[in-house]
Amino acid sequence: MPDTPAPLRAITQGPKFHWFAYYDKLQFDPSGRYCLGMEVDFEHRSPRPDDAIKVGMVDLQDNDRWIELGETTAWCWQQGCMLQWLPGSKSEVIWNGRADGRYCCHILDIATGRRRTLPHPIYTVSPDAKIAVAPDFRRIADTRPGYGYNGIPDPHKDDPAPKDAGIWRMDLGSGRQDLILSLADIVKVPYAPGYPEGAKHWFNHLLFSPDGGRFIFLHRWAGPGGRGFATRMFTARPDGSGLHCVVDSGMASHFIWRDPTHILAWARHASHGDCFYLFEDRTTNAAPVGKGVMTADGHCTYLPNTDWIVNDRYPGADRKRPVYLYHVPTGRVVTLGQFYAARAYDGEWRCDTHPRHAPDGRTLCIDSVHEDKGRQLYLLDIGAILDHPPAA
């Protein structure tokens, strides 16, 4: 077990493997009793179209009992099936699925068992749970394996920037869906260095602001045969209007909203190079955060007390994935653990820790493979650390 100042507890176990995936989704119900997760019976390969995973939750007040809720064939290793609690709901969860030759989503009320299916997948849900927005998972499967879904080919595979693919908004009540921003639209927004000839474009990583007034997304592109890609970061209103380019340097990665007008993101900026910045939406203001301390890209999240940021890093030569807290007022770091991951967990099916916090912010959940039991879910109790923050 890793050395950690925060008590650590496994809440899932084999023989099957469990994980939650991305860091910007609601994993815990509002009471903090139920913790969502996914269950799979293999690792170390790409999902095939017929590979189904189980969707479920752990009852943290009943000996960590696993409760199965459903299954899906629309999933990937890095972001799962977008499983999450509907914001503000005590009993409804949502996840993506595949039916009748198209991707969709399911909403289940765990209290009543009522389930309904809507005709489009989701990525991020508005804070009032009325709408969701999503990119084209078919295209992402082609452009960024490990983040899209395998099962339905991209009908625009040979089109660098199609007018019929982009970001869709869906009404979670009626199921109505509208294409609010196409790839053809976004390439018309000037990019000073220009795109390489034949560059292929896609959208990924969408997230509503805390008040639902705007959402953020990444516009990415890669040249033919290229291994790397470039990125711009934008925000927009929920109808796709009011576009604002937050990062135009060509490099932006993980991000989180601190509040309705500020975004923390690992990005490149002329002022300080590559580091975490706090960007003010709809302005050009950008200030470095944790410069010289948070020195590498990671899956960053503010705790409810925004004096604290929880973050992680990719493994170094020692194969360990650090998870840590950054105390904004003092600039100090509290390392919560170094979680080992064998080389078999590199690439598309890697197991990033993706730390997520409970509603009260005093418990974290991570995905980890450090016990050589495959990916499993673990809780970290950080309450005592928050009660005694580091001195300046």
Mean confidence (pLDDT) of the chain: 96
Calculate what percentage of the chain has a pLDDT beyond 70. Answer: 99
* Pair of tokens at residue 185: 């639209």
Q: What are the beta bridge partners of residue 366?
A: 378
pLDDT tens per residue, range 197-252: 999 999 999 999 999 999 999 999 999 876 789 999 999 999 999 999 999 999 99
CB-based burial, 25-62: b 16+ in 10 Å, e otherwise: bbbbbeeeebbbbbbbeeeeeebeeebbbbbbbbebee
Q: Specify the residue for token string 């590498």.
A: 296
Q: What are the beta bridge partners of residue 268?
A: 274
Q: How far apart are CA 77 and CA 46, in angstroms?
A: 8
Closest Cα to residue 231, out of 245, 210, 211? 245
Conformation bin of residue 382: beta by default, left when phi > 0, alpha when psi is -120 to 50: alpha
Edge-first strand order for the sheet with 17-19 is 17-19, 34-40, 53-59, 65-72
Asked if pLDDT for residue 176 goes beyond 90, the answer is yes
Task: Using CB atoms within 10 Å of the CB of residue 378, give its burial: 0 to 12 exposed, 13 to 18 middle, 19+ buried.
Answer: buried
pLDDT tens per residue, range 138-151: 999 999 989 999 99
Asked if pLDDT for residue 63 goes beyond 80, the answer is yes
Q: Specify the residue for token string 């410069």.
A: 291
Q: Is 348 helix (H, G, I), strand (E, B) or coil?
A: helix
Is residue 167 within 8 Å of 134, Cβ to Cβ?
A: yes
pLDDT tens per residue, range 317-359: 999 999 999 999 999 999 999 999 999 999 999 999 999 999 9
* Pair of tokens at residue 227: 């291994």
Edge-first strand order for the sheet with 92-99 is 84-85, 92-99, 102-109, 115-118
Q: How far apart are CA 105 and CA 141, in angstroms?
A: 18
